[in-house]
Amino acid sequence: MGVTLLTDMAFGILPCNAMVSPGANGKRVPIRHLLCFKTGSSKRKKCDDSNDTITDLVDDAYSSGRSEVPGTQEDDELTKTRKALSEARAKQEAIQKERDQLIEELARSEAKQKEYTATILHDKELAISELEAAKSLFHQKLQESVDEKFSLESRLVLAKQDAVELAVQVEKLAEIAFQQATSHILEDAQLRVSAAETSAAEAAYQIEKQIKDATEGTISSILEQSKDAIEKALDVAEKAGHYATKAVSAFGDGMNPVEKIVSLQSENMKLNGVVNDLESQLLLVRNEVDKLKLELEQVRQQAHASEIRANEAEKALLGFQESGREKTLQQEEEIKSLMEKLKKDASERKKSATKALKAELESIKAAIEAAKETASSRDTAYLRRCEALQRSLKASEDVSKMWRQRANLAESLLVKERPLVEEDKDSIYVVNGGRIDLLTDNDSQKWKLLSNGPRREIPQWRVRRIRTIRPKFPPRKIDVAEVLTSKFRTLDLPKPDEVWSIAEEKLKEGDTLIEHVIEKETIEKKRKALERALQRKTIQWQRTPEPTILGKFSCVIKNQELGPGERLCTLFRVKFQAFNWESWRRQWYLELAPKAADLSQSGVTAVWLPPPTRSVAAQGYMPTDLYNLNSEYGTEEELKYCVEEMHSQDILALGDVVLNHRCAENQSPNGVWNIFGGKLAWGPEAIVCDDPNYQGRGNPSSGPQDKASLQLSAPNIDHSQDFVRRDIKQWLNWLRNDIGFDGWRLDFVRGFSGTYVKEYIEASNPSFAIGEYWDSLAYEHGNLCYNQDAHRQRIVNWINATGGTSSAFDVTTKGILHSALHNEYWRLIDPQGKPTGVMGWWPSRAVTFLENHDTGSTQGHWPFPREKLAQGYAYILTHPGTPVIFYDHFYDFGIRDIITELIEARRRAGVHCRSSVKIYHANNEGYVAQVGDTLVMKLGHFDWNPSKENNLDGNWQKFVDKGTDYQVWLRQ
């Protein structure tokens, strides 16, 4: 005699098709169970025949007359069980209805919240547009007044062209003063005129003094000469008188007086000749003195005429200045009135916008409170469901105890007291948790459950969450072979190491408990995300400066439009390459996730993660099955955990996607590896026909027609095929929506056209995209050429092919920095005065970097000079474009503090990817540039500071000082 009883794993209810043999006649009668359950779901169904109960089993088992079990007690117990199950089902339906209502309320609240958000954004855009219109009107009025002022100045200058040379100089100074349109320049011009007049007077006085000194010197010398001559004549006369006295005395003594007289007359004649000569010289000197006096009078007349002209010029200048002041004051009054009006309008708009924003914030807060209340009610309902399940499970345990007792009795009847008949030798009795089972064939549901065993284990982090809320389910045996080979039918329960828990099962659709867990986690994530968004908006609103006539965002962008897909927040990003060539050797996702908070505090806003796809090469750049994200860097679950950690710190996650090539997993009949596996099972038609190694049957490559554009180590994908583009777009959207990536780093984009990149970006809508367009720079005789326009033009052409939807790595700037930082700073300025890389032509699409996993790390294909790393980061972190920091430099090279300090300087100065650059110096000694309006930086040993530059106004304070390496100043 044999009994077939198939049990449910959770509740131990007999199945509908159980059979029992009465023994006397050998016939088996079917026993219909009252209710059947499907494991893991909340659905219950009644058996076809509800009149046959377990009482028939007991009656047939005791039909031999050996023992007897009362049936009334069993009917009561079955009735209670049926009643309890119907109540549980009714409660489950009520809970389901309540859940649907809560989901509908949540959907309505989310829709209302989206509507509120759209309204706020619309009002904000209207306010910004109005401010921009006011700004343009003000600029227009200001330009008109300036043009009118310039026209008046030109007329005045033309009217004074015939003035003296001093007046011409004054007019030039006045013209410069009016061009600057400031009063202090006019005062400076007046001071210069006064100085010029003083200089002229001093020059005239010096000339007069020189003439006077020369005249007086000449006259004094002549008088001295005359005096000397007269004294000589007097001496001669005195001597002559003395001789005459002697002659008289001699005459008196008897000498000959005639000879003496003759001699005296001769001497007297000589003296007369000398006197005549002296008189003639005196006349000549007097003539010269008269001439000098005449010249002095002429000089005095000229000086007087110059003074008269200077007075006239001063009077003209005063009149000119007075008229200019009157017109300037009039224009200033008009401008002041216009500015007062604009300020009044702006303040009114600000008040209205602030009021509207406050109202919207209040509504958002109310929506959040409602969402919190909804979540709380959901939690309460969820706890109620758990309590109901626990009560149901407790009732099931009580029923199991009762059936265990009955099974003991039945086993004693079946094993000890009744021998097996010949036809039942192949029957195997199994007592599983107090329930009698008979395994007779491979098609039974019990056999399938035992054969399949437990499903694949889920990650530990989800196991921990499930264990916090899961009830205790009855154990289950998993070793079918042990059951089949056992000679004894024991009722002992299995040991703990022989059973498995439902908490370790793979999640399955239809599991009510698991659906509640997932639903609760989803609601909690949305609530936290909404709170973070509200907190960021509140902080941003509180930190927003007072609006001026130029608008709230005038300090960010002036007269520039955002590009396709570009958002305002993308302008200020600093990216971080979060891996190197050897990162795959460690559990990288688990090692990188804890660094999210550190990177966020350092100023990083986006991280570039390694290729996520399973790859032939460990580094990830030879992908196979695109949907298999269990790579050398970690599992798919670990990747999701890493991305979630980055998002929790408001850091974007960029995925490194390889679209140019893909490794096949199978060979064609020709032995060529061109048959792809996995979900995207492509064939040779997905490979370009000009790939020489893989016998592709697609169209030719859309990249540049050279060997460098072909990735020869793997089949090049033909992106002109519709099915290829469709599959890639679906894959990218899967990475965005299911994995959580925010943007892309596109590997080896030179291999295919940028138009396909545009299509992929528009389909996946990333926050940011970077293309790796790698091309060789121009060299001559082994030296880097100064002109690299052709190189950066090729990169710009690729960006333009994407419609501006993607950025590109500024390889030009990297190559130029290698040479420029070795005392060749003149390489950093092009003939137009702009930076020489892609940064100088299209800064908002230029992604600057010094090293990456290819150029540096253990590959070292093109390493940046290590001693120049600080200068290199000082350049890219203070200039426009989007800078990228390499992992090795930040964590391994000991320059983390330097990089963090430069990021802080960039943040304080408001430098973004579109900031303007004005280069003051670029030579062998150093490089000086002003970036935006509030930052000035210097490279090299060039002796310079802002006070030495005439065109730099304002108060500048030194923020970073690294001596001859670099210095950074910020405007106060």
The model's pLDDT over 333-383, given as tens digits with 9 standing for 90+, comes to 888 888 888 888 878 888 887 888 788 778 788 878 877 787 777 777 777
User: Which of 53-62, 153-162, 450-459, 657-666 shows the lowest mean pLDDT across its residues?
Assistant: 53-62
pLDDT of residue 80: 80
Which of the pair, 459 or 609, is modelled with greater confidence?
A: 609
* pLDDT-based confidence at residue 487 (cuts at 50, 70, 90): low
User: Which of 47-51, 159-163, 518-522, 936-940 shows the lowest mean pLDDT across its residues?
Assistant: 47-51
Residue pair 945/936 in contact (Cβ under 8 Å)? The answer is: no
Which of the pair, 644 or 456, is modelled with greater confidence?
A: 644
Q: Where are the alpha helices (DSSP H) in 471-547?
A: 480-485, 512-543
Q: Percentage of residues in the chain with pLDDT exceeding 70? A: 63
Segment 868-874 shows an average pLDDT of 96
Indicate the angle between helix axes 165-180 and 71-159, nearest 10 degrees.
Answer: 160
Which residues neighbour 723 within 8 Å (Cβ) at sequence distance 6 or greater? 682, 686
pLDDT of residue 488: 47
- On whether the pTM is more than 0.85, the answer is no
Residue 417 has pLDDT above 50, yes or no: no
Residue 747 annotated in active site: yes
* pLDDT-based confidence at residue 579 (cuts at 50, 70, 90): very high
Q: How far is residue 938's CA from residue 950's CA, in Å, rounded to a whole number?
A: 16
pLDDT of residue 65: 41
Average confidence score pLDDT of the chain = 75
How many CB atoms sit inside 10 A of residue 320's CB?
Answer: 21
Token match 């100065």: residue? Answer: 909
Which of the pair, 613 or 59, is modelled with greater confidence?
A: 613
Torsion of Cα atoms, 538 then 542 then 545 then 546, to 10°: 100
In the three-class reduction of DSSP (H, G, I as helix; E, B as strand; rest coil), residue 737 is classed as: helix
Residue 475 has pLDDT above 70, yes or no: no
Which of the pair, 785 or 226, is modelled with greater confidence?
A: 785
User: Which of 340-354, 401-415, 835-849 shows the lowest mean pLDDT across its residues?
Assistant: 401-415
User: Which of 263-272, 576-585, 688-697, 941-950 shows the lowest mean pLDDT across its residues?
Assistant: 263-272
Top mean-pLDDT range of 53-62, 387-396, 623-632, 949-958: 623-632
Q: How far is residue 59's CA from residue 71's CA, in Å, rounded to a whole number?
A: 8
What are the tens digits of pLDDT across the range 900-928? 999 999 999 999 999 999 999 999 999 99
Which of the pair, 571 or 599, is modelled with greater confidence?
A: 599
* pLDDT-based confidence at residue 812 (cuts at 50, 70, 90): very high
How many CB atoms sit inside 10 A of residue 136's CB?
Answer: 13
Residue pair 652/742 in contact (Cβ under 8 Å)? The answer is: yes
Which residues neighbour 150 within 8 Å (Cβ) at sequence distance 6 or greater? 178, 179
Which of the pair, 958 or 91, is modelled with greater confidence?
A: 958
Residue 493 has pLDDT above 60, yes or no: no
How many CB atoms sit inside 10 A of residue 887's CB?
Answer: 23
Pairing of β 935-940 and β 926-931: antiparallel
What are the tens digits of pLDDT across the range 109-129? 788 778 877 887 887 787 787
Which of the pair, 569 or 898, is modelled with greater confidence?
A: 898
Segment 715-728 shows an average pLDDT of 95
What are the tens digits of pLDDT across the range 179-195? 655 555 556 656 766 66
Residue 741 has pLDDT above 50, yes or no: yes
Residue 290 annotated in active site: no
Q: Which of 197, 656, 691, 747 is catalytic?
A: 747
pLDDT of residue 240: 61
Q: Which two tokens stand for residue 965?
A: 């390496």
Which of the pair, 269 or 447, is modelled with greater confidence?
A: 269
pLDDT of residue 589: 96
* pLDDT-based confidence at residue 166 (cuts at 50, 70, 90): low
Segment 859-873 shows an average pLDDT of 94
pLDDT of residue 25: 42
What are the tens digits of pLDDT across the range 623-671? 999 999 999 999 999 999 999 999 999 999 999 999 999 999 999 998 9
In the three-class reduction of DSSP (H, G, I as helix; E, B as strand; rest coil), residue 73 is classed as: helix
Tell me the torsion sign for CA atoms 745, 749, 752, 755: positive
Tell me the torsion sign for CA atoms 453, 459, 461, 465: negative
Residue 85 has pLDDT above 50, yes or no: yes
Q: Which of 197, 632, 759, 772 is catalytic?
A: 772
pLDDT of residue 806: 96
